[in-house]
Amino acid sequence: MIRHLLRVWLPDRPGSLGELAGAIGNAGGNVEGVEILESGAGRAIDELLVSTDDIDPVVMALARVDGVDVEWVK
């Protein structure tokens, strides 16, 4: 599996990180690490280390999660 670093904006509320992780898992990705960079004004910016053979289904799954925006993938 290939490791990818994603920077993601998400709602700053209970359960949003769990919902994000569930979407990643359902798309075939495995969350290996999370760093919360910033939170405030109802939004959080997180960087996630995700391992998967194909990142595209993961990014598409995150786009379907309400309030989540993928800033970039490396």
pLDDT at residue 36 in the model: 96
Who's near 67: CB < 8 A, 6+ residues apart?
10, 11, 16
pLDDT at residue 31 in the model: 98
Mean residue pLDDT across the chain:
97
pLDDT at residue 48 in the model: 98
pLDDT, mean of each 10-residue run, the chain (74 residues): 97 96 98 96 97 98 96 97
Structure tokens at 14: 């209970």
pTM over 0.75: yes
Who's near 24: CB < 8 A, 6+ residues apart?
30, 31, 48, 50, 58, 61, 62
Using one digit for the tens of pLDDT, what is the confidence trace for 26-35?
A: 999 999 999 9
> How many CB atoms are closer than 10 A to CB 35?
11
H or E segment and range at residue 35: strand 30-40
